[in-house]
Amino acid sequence: MTTVAFIGLGNMGGPMAANLVKAGFSVQAFDLSQAALAQLAEVGGTVMSTAREAAQGADFVVSMLPAGKHVAATYLGEQGIASVISPDALVIDCSTIDAATARKVGAELAAQGIAFIDAPVSGGVAGAKAGTLTFIVGGDEAHFERARLVLSAMGKNLFHAGDIGAGQVAKICNNMLLSILMAGTSEALQLGIDNGLDPKVLSEIMLKSSGRNWTLELYNPCPGVMDNVPSSNGYQGGFMVDLMAKDLSLATETALGSGSSTPMGSLARSLYVQHQRQGHGKEDFSGIFQAFAKKN
């Protein structure tokens, strides 16, 4: 039986690890949260008391952690798992982090003969639960091919973007565009509402016109337009403003590093950081609509 060590069982990692168990992998998992561990144990995962224990003897190590500092500490820190990972194992970091940290972790593992790819995901919590995530991989082509076994149990679309770090760059390009589309769709809908339009009708019109985009198709930010989306559930669940603000900061850092001009991305970052500072950090990112809505 193929053994997968899974580190980080949050909103995304929990259901991803559960899908690996369902696909027949032996999953030995670790998270700082006892509640997250208990949930995975319920569906058949093996709970370990440290990340090092989880990594021992695993054929694959998968991590799904909040940010670069958590990933660096998990692999390279004092209690890091790099020294206990088998040289035959493949390490797959699915967290969204800065490309520089991905490259550093990849290089330090490579120095010990351990293979590493960065494989951030798109598709959100719903995609993680349904096993339909998109994985955007950076790393060696052969390692990408080897990862298919594990990734295809958690996702549907697998892309190889380039060398280590390329997965992270592609992911933040996508999320920067998504944030711009979400903010733009919100302001267009509110403009229509302020001028007497029904947001449902306006959404249908734009969906069949040149303003069509993913947020109108699947994730309308205006409450009441669509069922089963965060906007119709008090902006609960989904993809947190805190995480979008993090991704936009990563996009800004990347743009500074490459001298790229990203005025729309910079504006979207400011909007999301402002929204976060106003206490909406734990709400879904479509809640940026509230920044445009007229308060009664």
Q: Please give the residue ranges that form the binding site for ligand NAD (CB under 6 A).
A: 7-13, 30-33, 36, 51, 64-66, 70, 74, 95-96, 121, 124-125, 239, 243
Q: Closest CB to ligand NAD among 13 and 199?
A: 13
- Shortest Å, Cβ 191 to ligand NAD: 28
| Closer residue to ligand NAD, CB minimum distance, 161 or 243 | 243
The residue count of the chain comes to 296
Whose CB is nearest to ligand NAD?
10
Q: Which is nearer to ligand NAD, 11 or 179 (CB)?
A: 11
Nearer to ligand NAD, 95 or 231 (CB): 95
The contacts of residue 34 (CB under 8 Å, 6+ apart) are: none
Nearer to ligand NAD, 198 or 236 (CB): 236
Non-local (6+) Cβ contacts of 120 within 8 A are 94, 95, 96, 97, 135, 136, 167, 168, 171
> Residue 1 class from Cβ within 10 Å (0-12 exposed, 13-18 middle, 19+ buried)?
exposed
Instruction: Give every CB contact of residue 256 below 8 A, 6+ residues apart in sequence.
Output: none
Q: Which of 22, 69, 129, 171 is an active site residue? A: 171
Provide, rounded to whole angstroms, the least separation between the CB of residue 180 and ligand NAD: 17
- Least Å from the CB of residue 273 to ligand NAD: 16
Catalytic residue check, 246: no
The nearest distance, CB 23 to ligand NAD, in angstroms, is: 19
Please, what's the largest Cα pairwise distance for the chain? 64
Catalytic residues: 171
